Amino acid sequence: DIVMTQAPLSVSVTPGESASISCRSSKSLLHSNGITYVYWYLQKPGKSPQLLIYRMSNLASGVPDRFSGSGSETDFTLKISRVEAEDVGIYYCGQLLENPFTFGSGTKLEIK
Amino acid sequence: QVQLQQSGAELAKPGTSVKLSCKASGYTFTSYYIYWVKQRPGQGLEWIGYIYPGNGGTYYSEKFKGKATFTADTSSSTAYMLLGSLTPEDSAYYFCARGAAGAYWGQGTLVTVSS
């Protein structure tokens, strides 16, 4: 199975500042079709996960453009610009390249 | 609008089974995969597998083979997951999601296994 490793475990951010979360995969997530199958999700407290970024850098519908995704074949970054109080929760990266799909262990974002 | 409505919380005894439901609305049920995800309280997310209601095809993560069984009723646009031979380690929230990317999620069902 592909292992997804996230860092840091938690991050504390002052409102208005930026935050970055890293994710590394144990194998390349770049498909031969040119698409990199890494996804980012946010699970707010007591809620279901919600999709933020799909295929490494595409913003999901309704997600503020303060969120952005980037990376290479195995190293990925979620950046949150101008962090707001509503951004608190646990962020997960996930790979959808091959079965079984796998998630990272999560990064908890807190507000200072 | 797309919605996935999951069944209510379950309290089950070890060794028994529970059947969870995920009722879809707002889209063509047979055109999208339904994925199931497990989350133990305070823990991370774990893919269980999927069913494609269009043809009933299924995939199970190795860890959940023999534990979970997916079915779908196209007449009611409802996907089901049967969890068998329950143990306390099966106590968790179970989510359904539409499509691999999970653009839409159900609200989750809490399963508690206790004698």
Is the pLDDT at B40 greater than 90, yes or no? yes
In chain B, % of residues over pLDDT 70: 100
Q: Tens digits of per-residue pLDDT, B67-111?
A: 999 999 999 999 999 999 999 999 999 999 998 888 999 999 999
- Answer yes or no: do A99 and B105 touch at CB < 8 A: no
DSSP A95: E
pLDDT of amino acid B102: 86
Instruction: Give the separation between CA B45 and CA A91, rounded to whole angstroms.
Output: 11
In A, minimum Cα distance to B39 occurs at: A48
DSSP A36: B
DSSP A60: P
Instruction: Give the separation between CA B16 and CA B83, rounded to whole angstroms.
Output: 9
pLDDT of amino acid B101: 86
Angle at A99 between CA B68 and CA A62, to 5 degrees: 95
3-state secondary structure of B31: helix
Instruction: Give the separation between CA B32 and CA B51, rounded to whole angstroms.
Output: 9
Whether the CB of A51 is below 8 Å from some CB of chain B: the reply is yes
- Closest by CA position to B1, among listed B22, B23, B27: B27
Q: List average pLDDT for each run of 10 residues in chain A, which is 112 residues long.
A: 97 97 98 97 96 97 96 97 97 96 97 94
The full DSSP string for A73-88 is SSEEEEEESS--GGG-
For residue B105, list chain A residues with Cβ-Cβ distance below 8 A: 48-50
